[in-house]
Structure 1
Amino acid sequence: MTSVLEPTLGLLHDEAGRVDEELLPCRVNNPELWFAESPADVESAKALCQDCPVQGLCLDGALARREPWGVWGGELFLQGVVIPRKRPRGRPRKNEAA
């Protein structure tokens, strides 16, 4: 049996249903933004999450589920771990600015 305190996707969905949908950035913007390939798009998604009323619950649930990838609760996940930023595809430049 699932505890009410467990940060499940069902609980997140229920809590989000109690909030005006206009306040939920992942529902009013293109959902693909939260799973974008572009580092700039990922940063945009993370910024949009900052004022979300269910941000904490979203992040707690993603941590508990070890989400494989995407932006959850304002953090970027890769293979179940929070990472600071998404690297662009390809090899880094030889003369990267410090």
Structure 2
Amino acid sequence: MTTSVLDRADQAFEAGLDTVLDPTLGLLHDSAGKVDDELLPCRANNPELWFAESPSDVEFAKALCRDCPVQTMCLDGALARREPWGVWGGELFLQGTVIPRKRPRGRPRKHPIVA
């Protein structure tokens, strides 16, 4: 039997798993299940957006999270789990910590772009 990370802790116990999954992700999944998918930006949009390489895409994902009904629960759970990367609860995570913004790949320009 394959068990996904989104399974609830009591289901893991009933299945006879030795390790109990982090309940915060299960609670988030349960709470999100009570809300219409159209109100959840991570379900209504391309999921790749929350793990994008482009800084502009990451900022767009963070902006979409601002009006999410489960944003606080998502952020709290991501902090507790020390998510390795991605946008969770409107914040960008890298190696388990929140960072202010994603930097593009490569070296910075020697001369600023004149607008």
Give the TM-score taking structure 2 as reference length.
Answer: 0.77
SS of corresponding position for 1:9: helix
For 1:42, the equivalent position in structure 2 comes to 58
- With over 3 angstroms needed to count, the CA separation of the structure-2 counterparts of 1:69 and 1:21, relative to structure 1, is same
Displaced runs of 4 or more, over 4 A: none
Question: Is 1:22 equivalent to 2:38 in the alignment?
Answer: yes
Greater relative contact order (Cα < 8 A, sep 6+): 1
Show CA shifts across 1:52-82 (max 9, x none): 0000000000000000000000000000000
Q: What do you get for the CA RMSD once the two structures are aligned? A: 1.5
Q: Report the CA distance between 1:8 and its aligned residue.
A: 1.1
Which residue, 60, 78, 81 being the options, matches 1:65?
81
Question: Is 1:52 equivalent to 2:68 in the alignment?
Answer: yes
SS of corresponding position for 1:91: coil
For 2:111, the equivalent position in structure 1 comes to 95
Q: How many residues are paired up?
A: 93
Where does structure 1 lack aligned partners over 5 or more consecutive residues?
A: none
Give the TM-score taking structure 1 as reference length.
Answer: 0.90
Q: Aligned partners of 2:44 and 2:56: how far apart in 1?
A: 19
Q: Report the CA distance between 1:51 and its aligned residue.
A: 0.1
The structure with more radius of gyration: 2
Q: Aligned partners of 2:77 and 2:105: how far apart in 1?
A: 28
